[in-house]
A and B are shown apart, each in its own frame.
Chain A
Amino acid sequence: MTSTDASNLYLPDMGTIQEVIEETANIKTFRITLNNPDAMRNFRFEPGQVGQLSVFGVGESTFVINSTPTRMDYLQFSVMRVGELTEKLHKLRPGDQVGVRAPLGNSFPYKEMRGKDIVFVGGGIGMAPLRTLLLYMLDNRDDYGKITLLYGARSPFDMAFSYELPDWLEREDMTTELTVDNGTPDWPHHVGLIPNVLKEMAPSAENAFAVTCGPPIMIKFTIEALHTLGFKDEQIITTLEKRMKCGVGICGRCNIGTKYVCKDGPVFTNKQLKELPNEL
């Protein structure tokens, strides 16, 4: 039995891992349902929001909910193995219990993006937050203009969501381009750095938003490429990562000046980022 005092910010809902998908050598995806059927049924979130996953005995870490609110069978989190908590998470199996504190933070401005062309540029595990918005938009396809996805990884073996890529590549209502830094002989897609491929693709900045997430260095050069293509800072959206604990703007860990990434983010436009003190 678990006490469920909704007024306790730090008390996670208990959840059960339903499925574990091995995405790459160091990324696993966890599909989780909340144990309390009412909590699961009433769970609401918006694309881009994050959650704290607990492995009791190890601690909590923040991950984006990369499923879409349009399909609420489970909450999906993709986790790259980089430290103690993620190491333990990777050892969990279907049926194992985790804690979930979610949703936290803000979301992509998906309402404001209606009627616009959307360019997604994802690198590595940075594809996870984009996935939630992409699926949301595909499920509300008529609300959005042209959808373009550029997804890159180090090698073909480092591409997550490989089970969805054929669908994304084949769909006629979106354009998908894949790229890797290092190809294999049978790799049929691009080989090259994301910003360079993006410049070749040259999506129009007219009436468009670009959403990018990936390693900081990739984001930096992707934003430069987007600028070259005519995208303005307010048309470029990204998500920030910070070390977080409380997830609600109290513990004081993830602030950049007066903004708390856990509460005021993780989604920011490049315009908003430029207005923040330079401490990313």
Chain B
Amino acid sequence: MLTARYIADDKLMPWLLSLAETRQVLAPVRQGGQTLFAPLDADSQLDLEGLADASAKAALLPRCETLLEFHYSKGEGVPSRTELEVRETLPDRDAFLFGARPCDAKGFTVFDRVYDGGSRRDIYYCTRRDKTIVAALACTDPADTCFCNRVGGGPGDTDGSDILFTPVEGGYVIEPVTERGEAFLAEQPLVEAEGRLEEARQVRKDVAESMPGGDPLGGAQGEVLRLFDDQEFWGGVAAKCLSCGACSYLCPTCYCFNMTDEINGDDGVRVRTWDNCMSFQFTLEGSGHNPRNGKAQRMRNRIGHKFSYYPELHDGNLACVGCGRCIVHCPVSMDVRAIVAQARDRALAKQEHAND
């Protein structure tokens, strides 16, 4: 394995800008009062303090992407006949995602199991995944809404990353995680870390130990499912939810999407956009029937998917990485940690009652 590299604080931005000459560099930058992952240029204000407001998922699953282009034309020789040409528009740009937090990077592993699942390989996501180097930045100052340590992660984890940056005095220690991360670093004009690896490890260890504990939120598949028909519970949990969907749009693991056509004259595109299971329309059928017509059912699906259905289908892996953005940005301050804990308590209480 390639030895660790080091970059000084004042060399970071010039290095990223030099990378941006040959590939898209996505990094957390200040934009309109928020910190968001966006293409980096010389005017960008890089913000590496804390967690970006939105997750980095758009790097691999854009908010809106064109899947197909189509064009209608008059049939040659048969004007009454309409010809239709359809072509796919696959991603073709190399990218470097810098400053994703370990939770963001781990979110990609949640996507990988679904979008790169053997026979159903989503070529748009997979191409972008193949063309993007994910460089995570270890956390040094977790917020009190962070709970990666309760969902099987940690502030210095490398799941889903190709490269890990760890802040140390004066700069960053850079370690390859995957072979392609190593190959990428080998081509970069970066100096060797020269014995600072231990310092980076210590930083990560200290931060991990500084995070408040709490019961793990995994392993509640059965409990969440047992509450499926408990309308009182889900109704209570969802009562103050506004169905705004901020939680799922900001979530690094929410991957549901919609596909719609847009047409202008003879030309059109089929686009894929993020969608949101908290929306009434998400499951509304043509007949008018809606299997999740209440907030309670939609909340149940969101929590159920993250903590029960997804783990059931994917070897116990949760579809939650503990970034806490859903807590930070919820307009009515809902807390997913509390909901899962309540669900577990309720299910256990019911179980005990049933055993009495």
Residue numbers of A with Cβ under 8 A of B are 1-3, 5, 7-12, 14, 56-61, 82-83, 86, 95-97, 99, 216, 241-243, 245-246, 248-258, 263, 277-280
Taking the nearest CB of chain A, how far is it from the CB of B189, in angstroms? 37
Taking the nearest CB of chain A, how far is it from the CB of B79, in angstroms? 12
Does A243 lie within 8 Å of B285, measured CB to CB? Answer: yes
Give per-residue flags for B303-325: 1 if the beta carbon is below 8 A from chain A beta carbons, else 0: 01100110011000000000000
For B256, give its contact among A95, A251, A277 (CB under 8 Å): A251
Interface of chain A, main secondary structure = loop
Cβ–Cβ < 8 Å partners of B88 in chain A: 3, 5, 8, 10-11
Instruction: Give bound CA distance, A271 to B270, whole Å.
Output: 38
B170 within 8 A of A: no
The answer to whether A7 and B291 touch (CB under 8 A), given A255-B309, A258-B309, is: no
Query: How many contacts between A and B, using CB within 8 angstroms?
Result: 131
Instruction: Give bound CA distance, A5 to B122, whole Å.
Output: 12
Instruction: Give bound CA distance, A11 to B69, whole Å.
Output: 10
The answer to whether A56 and B304 touch (CB under 8 A), given A9-B121, A258-B312, is: no
**Interface-side segment among B171-179, B275-283, B333-341:** B275-283
Instruction: Give bound CA distance, A252 to B110, whole Å.
Output: 13
B236 within 8 A of A: no
Give per-residue flags for B82-121: 1 if the beta carbon is below 8 A from chain A beta carbons, else 0: 1111111010000000000000000000000011010011
Q: Given A9-B121, A251-B257, list of 6 further CB < 8 A pairs?
A: A97-B84, A245-B258, A246-B257, A250-B117, A257-B228, A278-B229
Cβ–Cβ < 8 Å partners of B258 in chain A: 245, 251
Taking the nearest CB of chain B, how far is it from the CB of A177, in angstroms? 26
Does B260 lie within 8 Å of A82, measured CB to CB? Answer: no
B141 within 8 A of A: no
22 examples of A-B residue contacts, CB within 8 angstroms = A7-B123, A10-B272, A11-B67, A11-B86, A56-B84, A57-B72, A59-B261, A95-B80, A216-B289, A242-B283, A246-B257, A249-B114, A250-B122, A251-B275, A252-B255, A252-B257, A253-B256, A254-B283, A256-B291, A257-B304, A279-B291, A279-B301
Does B70 lie within 8 Å of A56, measured CB to CB? Answer: yes
B284 within 8 A of A: yes
Does A14 lie within 8 Å of B86, measured CB to CB? Answer: yes
Instruction: Give bound CA distance, A253 to B297, whole Å.
Output: 13
Taking the nearest CB of chain B, how far is it from the CB of A79, in angstroms? 10
B213 within 8 A of A: no
B244 within 8 A of A: no
B68 within 8 A of A: yes
Does B86 lie within 8 Å of A246, measured CB to CB? Answer: no
Does B120 lie within 8 Å of A250, measured CB to CB? Answer: yes
For B270, give its contact among A56, A242, A249 (CB under 8 Å): A56
Does A245 lie within 8 Å of B84, measured CB to CB? Answer: no
Taking the nearest CB of chain A, how far is it from the CB of B313, in angstroms? 5
Instruction: Give bound CA distance, A251 to B275, whole Å.
Output: 9
Cβ–Cβ < 8 Å partners of A241 in chain B: 285, 287
Instruction: Give bound CA distance, A255 to B124, whole Å.
Output: 22
B292 within 8 A of A: yes
The number of residues on chain B lying at the interface, defined by a beta carbon within 8 Å of a beta carbon of chain A, is 55
Does B309 lie within 8 Å of A257, measured CB to CB? Answer: yes
B19 within 8 A of A: no
The answer to whether A278 and B286 touch (CB under 8 A), given A7-B123, A250-B120, is: no
Instruction: Give bound CA distance, A95 to B79, whole Å.
Output: 12
Does A10 lie within 8 Å of B68, measured CB to CB? Answer: yes
B2 within 8 A of A: no
Cβ–Cβ < 8 Å partners of A61 in chain B: 286
Cβ–Cβ < 8 Å partners of B90 in chain A: 8
Cβ–Cβ < 8 Å partners of A279 in chain B: 228, 291-292, 297, 301
Cβ–Cβ < 8 Å partners of B282 in chain A: 243, 253
Cβ–Cβ < 8 Å partners of B301 in chain A: 255, 279
Taking the nearest CB of chain A, how far is it from the CB of B109, in angstroms? 16
Does B70 lie within 8 Å of A57, measured CB to CB? Answer: yes
Does A56 lie within 8 Å of B261, measured CB to CB? Answer: yes
Does B123 lie within 8 Å of A9, measured CB to CB? Answer: yes
Instruction: Give bound CA distance, A3 to B123, whole Å.
Output: 14
Cβ–Cβ < 8 Å partners of B289 in chain A: 216
Does A9 lie within 8 Å of B286, measured CB to CB? Answer: no
For B120, give its contact among A57, A242, A248 (CB under 8 Å): A248
Q: Which residue of B lies closest to A279 (CB)?
A: B291
Taking the nearest CB of chain B, how far is it from the CB of A215, in angstroms? 8
Does B83 lie within 8 Å of A97, measured CB to CB? Answer: yes
For A56, give its contact among B80, B81, B86, B312 (CB under 8 Å): B86
Instruction: Give bound CA distance, A10 to B287, whole Å.
Output: 25
Q: Which of B215-230 contact A (CB under 8 A)?
A: 225, 228-229
Instruction: Give bound CA distance, A251 to B115, whole Å.
Output: 9
B268 within 8 A of A: yes
Does B261 lie within 8 Å of A57, measured CB to CB? Answer: yes
Cβ–Cβ < 8 Å partners of A12 in chain B: 86
For B87, give its contact among A2, A96, A251 (CB under 8 Å): A2
Give per-residue flags for B226-257: 1 if the beta carbon is below 8 A from chain A beta carbons, else 0: 00110000000000000000000000000111
